[in-house]
Amino acid sequence: MVKVLVPLAQGVEELEAVTIIDLLRRAGIEVVAAGLKDGPIRASRGLMILADCSLDEALRQEYDMVVLPGGAAGSDALNADDRIHELLKKMADSQRFMAAICAAPKVLAAAGVLNGRACTAYPGVLEALPQQNFVLSEANVVTDGKVVTSRGPGTAMDFALRLIAHLVGADKRNEVEAQLKR
Write out the chain's pLDDT in tens, 182 residues.
Answer: 999 999 999 999 999 999 999 999 999 999 999 999 999 999 999 999 999 999 999 999 999 999 999 999 999 999 999 999 999 999 999 999 999 999 999 999 999 999 999 999 999 999 888 888 899 999 999 999 999 999 999 999 999 999 999 999 999 999 999 999 98
The residues spanned by each domain of the chain are 3-180
Task: Provide the pLDDT for residue 112.
Answer: 94
Q: Strand runs (DSSP E) across the chain, as ranges?
A: 3-8, 30-35, 41-42, 48-49, 53-54, 65-68, 97-101, 118-119, 135-136, 141-144, 147-150
For residue 82, what pLDDT is reported?
97
User: Does the domain made of 3-180 have the CATH classification 3.90.25.10?
Assistant: no
pLDDT at position 182:
84
Q: Chain-centre distance of CA 134, in angstroms?
A: 18
Asked about 119 being catalytic, the answer comes back as no
Structure confidence at residue 125 (pLDDT): 94
Of the candidates 88, 99, 102, 161, the residue annotated as catalytic is: 102
Position 94 scores a pLDDT of: 97
